Amino acid sequence: MKISINKAKKTLLGNRRRGYTLPTNNKLYPAQWNWDSGFIALGYSYFNLNFALKEINTLLDGQWKDGMVPHILFHNTKTNYYPNYTAWNCGNKIHSSGITQPPILATILKEILNKNEINKTQLLNIKKIIKKINKFHEWFIQFRDPKKTGLVSILHPWESGYDNSPLWDDPMNKVKIEKNIKYKRADNKVVNPDFRPLDIDYDRYVTIKNNLRKLKYNPKKVYKSSFFNVVDVGFNSIFLKANKDLVTLLDRFGLNKKKIENYIKATEKNFLKLYDKKRKTFFSKDIKNKKKIFIPSITNYFLLFADLNNDKINKILIQNLKKHNLKEKYFFSSIKSNHKSFEEKRYWRGPVWINCNWFIYKGLKNKDRLFSNKIRNKTIQILEKKGFFEYFSCKNGKPMGAKNFSWSAALYLDLKLNKN
Ligand code: GLC
């Protein structure tokens, strides 16, 4: 056990650059990623609180004036990553992408505050961080939910963090690929192309991105004009939880929490409109094409993490979750294995992801302790047996994607060392 804890720490430190940490030390992701940094900060908080706060501060240094925190910050511009900083052509102070990722910082910060002794300088720093996170959440509320529905939209599959999930297949099929599209991907040269998205998917990702760029990423325009606009269950669950945690933080630091509190009320109420009583499942909504999306994605169970104030629904979710992986040795598969879109190896279309297990484990802790412990133990087991890889086969545990993957190491530390 000790070996693995030391290895996890070493993995994070090995991926650390100046004030931020790469998702992995190979060439696949040579920049700072938004939600990766959140998980990574939580990992650092078990052995170096200053590194944890620095990770978050560096990410927030890239915050745009309107409040958005980009999904990628290109601190180092000399890499062969695509789309690189010139392909995005935007950023405030730091070159960045022009879209965002799941907002987990409030949740992470609350976790960190709960278990650490904080000195005065750190407290002052944390107050500044909270104000920036608040601005980020207000940006979501203002620009990603202009009709005030209590639920926010993502405007590119990459914003979800589960980039090529089958959740996006229908809305993506509607995207007309730009004529004469030209670009050079690097991801499928670094890892096995069977594990990565298909070229046709990539063409569409780039088409959506180029359109956002044409609109100069203007938050007032993109909601309406993006080729992709989806209200996703998983994403909104993470946002709801983050809003709840943000209220706690604002309260603790004597900051105004009214706006976020009101938004939480609207979310709690309107989430239920995404529930299909007959099928007993939640669906995401393709706003662009006015269609419901029913895909048995593990991300739908992030609702447990959101702590929806509805015991009946939570019970149904748990019952369904217990049926998500009846046959597989390792869980949770990102997509239910009997679904037609399931692929054992292609990323986000089947494999087990440590962060998904982590969200669900956390969500279940106060609802089904036995089951949550089982998830925790199984997740720890796979990491100790196979190493800190990016994702794993649910059939045989085969590790895939990048090795020395930061969030796998960081969340291992939390699963192992969190005493709460
Ligand atoms: C992939 C994942 C995304 C992650 C990034 C860096 O793009 O889909 O969730 O943030 O890699 O690890």
Q: For 344-400, how does the pLDDT look when each residue is reduced to its tens digit (9 = 90+)? A: 999 999 999 999 999 999 999 999 999 999 999 999 999 999 999 999 999 999 999
- Please name the amino acid found at residue 412: Y
pLDDT at position 1: 53
Mean pLDDT of the chain: 96
For residue 402, the ligand 1 atom closest to its alpha carbon is 12
- The dihedral formed by the CA atoms of 398, 388, 303 and 244, expressed in degrees to the nearest 10: 180
φ, ψ of residue 92 in degrees (nearest 5):
-120, 115
User: Is the CB of 23 within 6 Å of ligand 1?
Assistant: yes
Check 61, 66, 138, 163 and give the catalytic one: 163
User: 3 falls in which pLDDT band (50, 70, 90)?
Assistant: confident
Check residue 89 and give its pLDDT.
Answer: 98
Q: Which of 10-14, 56-60, 81-85, 166-170 has the lowest mean pLDDT?
A: 81-85
Q: What is the pLDDT of residue 299?
A: 98
Q: Is the pLDDT of residue 60 over 80?
A: yes
Q: Is it the case that residue 189 has pLDDT exceeding 90?
A: no
Q: Is the CB of 161 under 6 A from ligand 1?
A: yes
Q: Which of 36, 201, 328, 390 is catalytic?
A: 390
Instruction: Note the pLDDT of residue 329.
Output: 94
Q: List the beta strands (DSSP E) in 211-309.
A: 230-231, 275-276, 281-282, 284-286, 291-293
> Does ligand 1 come within 6 angstroms of the Cβ of 29?
yes
> Ligand 1 pocket, 187 CB below 6 A?
no
The question of whether 286 is a catalytic residue gets the answer no
Q: Is 401 in the pocket of ligand 1 (CB under 6 A)?
A: no
163 in catalytic set: yes
What is the pLDDT at residue 215?
A: 98
In 78-124, at which residue ranges do the beta strands (DSSP E only) sit? 90-92, 94-96
Looking from the CA of residue 163, the nearest atom of ligand 1 is 8
Distances (CA, A) of 175 to 202, 289, 306, 332: 12, 11, 31, 30
The confidence score (pLDDT) of residue 2 equals: 59
